[in-house]
Amino acid sequence: MATTVDKQRLFISVPSPQALLARRPVSYIAGQLKAKLAKLKRELLTPSSGSGGGAGVGFDVARTGVASVGFIGFPSVGKSTLMSRLTGQHSEAAAYEFTTLTTVPGQVVYNGAKIQILDLPGIIQGAKDGKGRGRQVIAVAKTCHLIFIVLDVNKPLTDKRVIENELEGFGIRINKSPPNIVLKKKDKGGINITATVPLTHIDHDEIKAVLAEYRMANADVAIRCDATVDDLIDVIEAKSRSYIPVIYALNKIDAISIEELDLLYRIPNACPISSEHGWNVDELLEQMWEKLNLVRVYTKPKGKMPDYTAPVVLRSTACTVEDFCNSIHKTIVEQFKLAIVYGKSVKHQPQRVGLSHELADEDISAVLKASYGIHKGAISVKAAYTANEDDHSLGDWEVHNDPVLVDTSNAVDAAEARSLGLETNSTMAPLPLLQPAAARSARTRALTTDQTSLKYALQAAA
């Protein structure tokens, strides 16, 4: 009898093989729970057929300029006052909360770049969970290239953390770059984890738990940073994450002492300002420029100094010669021959480069198109254009930046050519901007910048 009881006790105290298998290390369970939570959060924030987290009516606005900057902050911290100060665009500002109810767009031109500024309604704690119109507001901020978190220096600094949490909870990663983790799904072979640095925040069980939660049974995971579970989840959830730089605009410094101001300067990525008085707004713009990381490319007409007044501004993520050409006119790439570049992006000054070359800030670039050679007949046109005469901006650009080269020495009467503003020597001098009337003249039809005339010139020369 006693033996039976003992057997029963033994049976109860020893778990079954299935239970043993099911038992997982604590880190596995922690990873599983974090992954489950991240999935649920994403489902909550993903708009389901027209409702939910997307930007609603009056919130999303047409994007203009090369980059956009959104203002996020509690109500009445001075966002609209700052907007009016930076752009000259009036945005209603008042001493009561929730003065701004929709997105108010404006524009600032800085270093030749047109930057869109979006004044947004104030948000409150719980915004990401749908309080107020918080989700719509943060959804607009999530599509911006830079966010100004505007804080009132008279309010507790804990407000900064609250706003950061709201943005983080919405998938915005502040002043961070994507974690250096490469995840490759496979068809078979199980999970293969390699790490090039010691992992102090995560172990293999946790990684496997997260991958299992996302139904990844076969994958290569290459970790090249001391990653956390959240980093791994961010890589898996990459589609719903936005890595956006942030500047903390610490507003209303007119109401604090110099000693307090000194303390504010210690906060990283912060800029103390007074939008009402316009104090230190210049520094804010400088910081904005640095964070936006834009690339200015100056165009250079042949035989002339580069045009420093109107750079072509590109984003650093799309700054190849092809992007440069496309930002001027999409037809340029079709006729592209080579670009001559001076500046930081090239080893030799100047250097001939192709479409895939990446340009650097303050580079100087001249684009050459495929040449048309007409050696018979009256006029020799070495380079020609297909610009539409009606498209004035393109015509201007082309003539100023890649001028038609004309050898008029052997055919066109020197005096007549001079009266048309053409060079008459044989050195293939750049052709100045042609007047439409002159362009229509029969004698000079071949010299116009439109395609019809070019065809005529080719026929006449044949």
The residues of the shown chain that bind ligand GTP, judged by CB under 6 A, are 73, 75-81, 93-95, 97-100, 121-122, 251-252, 254-255, 274-276
CB of 302 to ligand GTP, least distance (A): 50
- 327 contacts Mg ion (rule: CB under 5 A): no
Rounded Cα–Cα distance for residues 36 and 34 (Å) = 5
136: partner contacted, choices Mg ion, ligand GTP, none (Cβ within 5-8 A by kind): none
Indicate which of Mg ion, ligand GTP, none lies near residue 263 (CB less than 5 to 8 Å, by partner kind): none
Candidates 32, 68, 80, 448: give the one binding Mg ion (CB under 5 A).
80
d(CA 300, CA 366): 5
CB of 437 to Mg ion, least distance (A): 52
The burial of 40, by beta-carbon neighbours within 10 Å (0-12 exposed, 13-18 middle, 19 or more buried), is given as exposed
Q: Which is nearer to Mg ion, 117 or 422 (CB)?
A: 117
Query: Which runs of E-coded beta strand occur in 224-299?
Result: 242-244, 246-251, 270-272, 294-299
Distance of closest approach, residue 96 Cβ to Mg ion, in angstroms: 10
Q: Which does 77 bind (CB under 5 to 8 A by kind): ligand GTP, Mg ion, none?
A: ligand GTP
Partner interacting with residue 275 (select from Mg ion, ligand GTP, none; CB below 5-8 Å by kind) = ligand GTP
CA–CA dist 337, 47 (Å, integer): 46
Q: Which of 32, 100, 401, 444 binds Mg ion (CB under 5 A)?
A: 100
Provide the strand spans (E) within 25-171: 67-72, 104-110, 113-119, 146-152
Q: How far is the CB of 90 from ligand GTP (least distance, A)?
A: 11
Taking the least distance from each CB to ligand GTP, the nearer of 134 and 306 is 134
Residues with Cβ within 8 Å of 230's Cβ and at least 6 positions away in sequence, in order, are 34, 38
Q: Which is nearer to Mg ion, 35 or 247 (CB)?
A: 247
Neighbours of 129 (CB within 10 A): 14
The residue sitting closest to ligand GTP, measured at its beta carbon, is 122
Please tell me the count of residues contacting Mg ion according to CB under 5 A: 4
The burial of 204, by beta-carbon neighbours within 10 Å (0-12 exposed, 13-18 middle, 19 or more buried), is given as: middle
Closer CB to ligand GTP, residue 68 or residue 91?
91
What count of residues does the chain have? 462
**Does 240 engage in binding with Mg ion (CB under 5 A)?**
no
- Cα angle for residues 286, 247, 41 (degrees, 5° grid): 150
Query: Hey, is 267 helix, strand or coil?
Result: coil
Compute the least distance from the CB of residue 259 to ligand GTP, in Å. Answer: 18
Strand-pair category, 113-119 with 67-72: parallel
Using the rule CB under 5 A, which residue among 27, 89, 99, 143 binds Mg ion? 99
Least distance in angstroms from the C-beta of 128 to ligand GTP? 17
Note whether 103 binds Mg ion by CB under 5 A.
no
DSSP label of 130 = T
Residues in contact with Mg ion by the rule CB under 5 A: 79-80, 99-100
